[in-house]
Amino acid sequence: MLAAMLIREATLHDWPRMWAFMEGIVRAGETFSWDRDTTESQAKQMWFPKPPGRTFVAIDAGGTILGTANSVRNHRGGAAHISSASFMVDPARSGQGVGRALGEHVLKQARKDNFRAMQFNAVVETNTRAVALWRSLGFEVMTTLPAGFHHPAHGYVGLHIMHRKL
């Protein structure tokens, strides 16, 4: 982890610097179950969910945005105690602990917000770094939807549903 990484709530002012690396991740279509032609405006709307949803950025000492995450209620009503979250790290900053720091922060905030569990609905099984990271943060693969994801290079692969109690 970078010595001086800070995680804070994102603002719309941060958006252009977030989208700068998010766009490539969305267009690649390898790890996110978003349409690859999602427009910037749609992406912004999805990435800044209404409260109690939250959006975070990880920044270094110079204020550069290294990665971003958001968290939402995964369900409502009787299942409103389950949260979910999504993460994108600038590929240029890969391997520096940004995803882990964001994951830990999101878990901590979800506990503060009185959620009792966190669920990831769609973790592409070929995204092995993410799967390993979430496992190391206490998530379990609850099930794998067979042929749940069509990967641009690998064809149909499994889609994990991951979960942990908070």
Among 8, 75, 108, 135, binds a copy of itself (CB under 8 A): 75
Burial class (CB in 10 A: 0-12, 13-18, 19+), 156: exposed
Strands 6-9 and 54-59: antiparallel
Name the segment binding a copy of itself (CB under 8 A); options: 16-24, 52-60, 88-96, 155-163: 155-163
Name the segment binding a copy of itself (CB under 8 A); options: 1-9, 54-62, 105-113, 144-152: 144-152
Query: Please, which of residues 14-73 interact with a copy of itself by CB under 8 A?
Result: 29-30, 32-36, 38
Residue 123: count other Cβ atoms within 10 Å of its Cβ.
22
Taking alpha carbons only, the member of 145, 49, 50, 127 closest to residue 89 is 127
User: How many residues touch a copy of itself (CB under 8 A)?
Assistant: 36
User: Residue 16: is the preceding peptide bond cis (ω within 30°)?
Assistant: no
Is 124 one of the binding residues for a copy of itself (CB under 8 A)?
A: yes
- Radius of gyration of the chain from its Cα atoms, rounded to whole angstroms: 15
Helix (H) or strand (E) holding 129: helix 128-136
**Whole-number minimum distance, CB 66 to a copy of itself, in Å?**
24
**Whole-number minimum distance, CB 78 to a copy of itself, in Å?**
5
**Whole-number minimum distance, CB 34 to a copy of itself, in Å?**
5
Binding site for a copy of itself (CB under 8 A): 29-30, 32-36, 38, 75-82, 116-117, 119, 121-122, 124, 142-143, 145-152, 159, 161, 163, 165
